[in-house]
Amino acid sequence: MNKSKPSPNHLLPLTFGLLLFGCFLSRFPHHFHYREQFQMFLFTTDYFTDVCSTPGGFCNYLGRFLTQFYVYAWLGALIVGATLLAMRQLVYSITQKCGRERSGEWLSFLPALGYAFLLCDENTHIGGAIALCIALLLARAMMNIERKSLRRFAVPAAVPLAYMLIGGAICMSVLLWLMHEYKQKGRRKVEFAITTLASLAVAVITPFAAKSIWMQYPVERLWAGVDYVHFLNYNPWDVIYICILTLIIVGLAPRLPGFGKLSHIASTLIGTAALAALSLAVMIGIAAPQHASKEEIMAYDYHCRMRNWDKIISMANRKSPTTPMTVCCLNLALYHKGRLADDMFRYFQNGPDGLLPAFRRDFMIPTVGGEAYYHLGFINTARRFAFEAMEALPDFQKSARSIKRLAETNMIAGHYERAAKYLHLLEHTLFYRKWAREAKPYLYSDSLVNTHPEWGSLRRFHTRQDFLFSEAEKDMMLGICFTQQPGNRMAYEYLMAYALLTKDMKKFRLYYDLHKDFSIDTIPKAWQEALVYIWGLTGAAPENIPMPVSKEVKLAVKAYANIYTTVKAPEPLLRKDFAKTYWYYLHFREYNRAKPEQNYQY
């Protein structure tokens, strides 16, 4: 009687896929938004031919096609989980083909789990995982060719075509196929040696031959082919390690132990528990802490982009932001909720760069910093930041977010031909097409733009006077913007905040009298604290200050002054009760006055 084969274990891969989906969605949702905004997938023939006309371009095309769905985090987590689950299933199928039934079931998860760790990095593209999946699929298809003569001649001949699809990953396909050929019964040593040499020679020579066609690319770039990460000068050693691990697992498959005396149910439960523990340890225990600070920055940026001001303030209430980019998003949210002048010093402030970030030759910092300039009405600056951010992308793609901002700023400035060019590009995307079509009627129509709820007000605030953009004189630029348009309350509040953050009491007192063009019912708390401090420098009592400062602020400044003047090292005591006041920032928060461009953490 023939012994029945063990039934396939469906619980393990299902658990693995669900764990990946849950971990990515819960721990790295804004990594997907980050990756999506720095590419622009176009449904055009030119885009297809441009991307696919280089080695590995087909995988790049598929990766970019899937990345556009990252606009929804749950779709991104689903795509990553499904891709890595397919990778595991293919590795397991190959180990079965090269070994015996159920061999390598546990170890077949390791390559996919290793690539899951790589995808926790915001600069790792899904195209690399797709390339490895296709390489595994090709290897499995090669093994299924039954005719020996066809298999040993067709495979080397197909390598150049496969190289165009998946780039250097074809080497793993060839090696896996040769491992399978080595284990075949009745093979002839001489014939196998010739097949091996021919296959490896074609796989190795093909990238060098491609150099004669794509002369602008270095040889190592042609070897990789696929854009595994955001940076083109990256050597994909991490991916190579995963390929080596896959080869080792397949090579060990025939020697792996079976299930012994354990029942199928017991082995399934033990394996599922072990797999869950390993997956959670890698994703949550190792990857999450490593990328937590970046995820926080991406969350602030995403909510700022989506105008989720309450979300930003809620995040800051749980943990005060500390980097210039996150503080910039928080201050912008506080203004839009009418709380900037009252509450800005309730949170950590790191100088004027947390209000208006300095320009950097980078793709992330200008993207975030441009938001504040756009809302203030500095349309030319916002356009410059968007364009420079897109041109600084290390993989030379175009950014859908930057293209949208360029369309908006050109529309507001009345440069309709330029705006039409950008809208035409967005019309060939999937998730920006609707917005572009809704914006097209505003082209060449000043009356429609003037009545737009956002573009109309920003056009009114758009400065008509030329001046040089100066990182060290942002208050001057804010002052010009406000004096030209006295109704621009945001410019005034940012002007006052800039004086407070630079600790320039003389300018603050001068700017305070400029608000007479619009009413302020109650002087904001931060302004009261600055005014009573300035008054105290004259030696007069807080009770005699002529400005309407609240009783609570007067009592608080007396208590603060008492500790500050009588205690030898007052900072610890003042931090306990006064850390959320302007006085504490004034005396104990430092920033580089000589170099306003602070170092950015990202």
Q: Tokens for 262, please give them.
A: 């354990």
Q: Which amino acid is at 502?
A: T
**Does 593 have pLDDT greater than 90?**
no
Q: Tokens for 28, please give them.
A: 């790295």
pLDDT digits (tens, 9 = 90+) for 274-310: 677 777 777 777 777 778 889 999 999 999 999 999 9
Alpha-carbon span 99 to 219, nearest angstrom: 36
User: Which residues neighbour 147 within 8 Å (Cβ) at sequence distance 6 or greater?
Assistant: none
Percent of the chain predicted with pLDDT > 70: 90
Alpha-carbon span 223 to 163, nearest angstrom: 9
Alpha-carbon span 200 to 417, nearest angstrom: 54
Grouping H, G, I as helix, E, B as strand and the rest as coil, residue 322 is coil
| pLDDT score, position 210 | 84
B/e letters for 106-133, b = 16+ CB within 10 Å, e = fewer, are bbbbbbbbbbbbbbbbbbbbbbbbbbbb
| pLDDT score, position 594 | 47
Q: What are the start-end ranges of the E strands in 211-354?
A: none
**Does 139 have pLDDT greater than 60?**
yes
| pLDDT score, position 303 | 97
For the chain, the residue count is 602
Whether the Cβ atoms of residue 63 and residue 125 lie closer than 8 Å to each other = yes
Q: Which amino acid is at 181?
A: E
Q: What is the mean pLDDT of residues 125-146?
A: 91
User: Which residues neighbour 355 within 8 Å (Cβ) at sequence distance 6 or greater?
Assistant: 327, 328, 331, 372, 494, 497, 498, 501
Mean pLDDT lowest for which of 407-421, 430-444, 565-579?
Answer: 565-579
Longest dimension (CA), the chain: 106
pTM, rounded to two decimals:
0.90
| pLDDT score, position 8 | 55
Alpha-carbon span 355 to 318, nearest angstrom: 20
Exposure of 266 by Cβ count < 10 A (0-12 exposed, 13-18 middle, 19+ buried)?
Answer: exposed
- Quick one: which of 85, 96, 151, 158 has its CA closest to 119? 85
| Angle of the 126-143 helix axis to the 237-252 helix axis, nearest 10 | 30
Q: What is the 3-state secondary structure (H, E, C) of 390-424?
A: HHCCCCCCCCHHHHHHHHHHHHHHCCHHHHHHHHH
**Does 540 have pLDDT greater than 60?**
yes
**Does 33 have pLDDT greater than 60?**
yes
Whether the Cβ atoms of residue 324 and residue 297 lie closer than 8 Å to each other = no
pLDDT digits (tens, 9 = 90+) for 75-115: 999 999 999 999 999 999 998 888 755 656 778 888 998 89
User: In which band, very low, low, confident or very high, does the pLDDT at 516 lie, cut at 50, 70 and 90?
Assistant: low
User: In which band, very low, low, confident or very high, does the pLDDT at 61 lie, cut at 50, 70 and 90?
Assistant: very high
pLDDT digits (tens, 9 = 90+) for 211-239: 888 877 777 778 877 888 888 777 778 88
Q: Tokens for 556, please give them.
A: 């608080």
Cα-Cα end-to-end distance for the chain = 66
Mean pLDDT of the chain: 86
| pLDDT score, position 78 | 97
CA 136 → CA 155, 255, 374, 419, 422, distances in Å?
14, 21, 48, 45, 40
Whether the Cβ atoms of residue 107 and residue 252 lie closer than 8 Å to each other = yes
Q: What is the mean pLDDT of residues 537-556?
A: 87
Whether the Cβ atoms of residue 138 and residue 172 lie closer than 8 Å to each other = no
Give the single-character DSSP code of 211.
Answer: T
Q: Where are the domains of the chain?
A: 11-290
More confident residue, 405 or 7: 405
Alpha-carbon span 538 to 231, nearest angstrom: 57
- Quick one: which of 62, 104, 97 has its CA closest to 83? 62
Q: Tokens for 485, please give them.
A: 């348009």
Alpha-carbon span 212 to 513, nearest angstrom: 70
Give the single-character DSSP code of 284.
Answer: I
Mean pLDDT lowest for which of 262-276, 301-315, 416-430?
Answer: 262-276
**Beta bridge pairs of residue 229:** 124
Q: Tokens for 177, please give them.
A: 């196929």
Concatenated DSSP letters of 430-452:
SSSHHHHHHHGGGTT-HHHHHHS
pLDDT digits (tens, 9 = 90+) for 369-403: 899 999 999 999 999 999 999 999 998 899 999 99
Which residue in the block uniquely carries the two structure tokens 């602020």? 553
Question: Highest-confidence range of 162-166, 212-216, 590-594, by mean pLDDT?
Answer: 162-166
Alpha-carbon span 580 to 582, nearest angstrom: 7
**Does 350 have pLDDT greater than 60?**
yes
B/e letters for 201-219, b = 16+ CB within 10 Å, e = fewer, are ebbeebbeebeeeeeebee
Alpha-carbon span 485 to 456, nearest angstrom: 14
User: In which band, very low, low, confident or very high, does the pLDDT at 4 lie, cut at 50, 70 and 90?
Assistant: very low
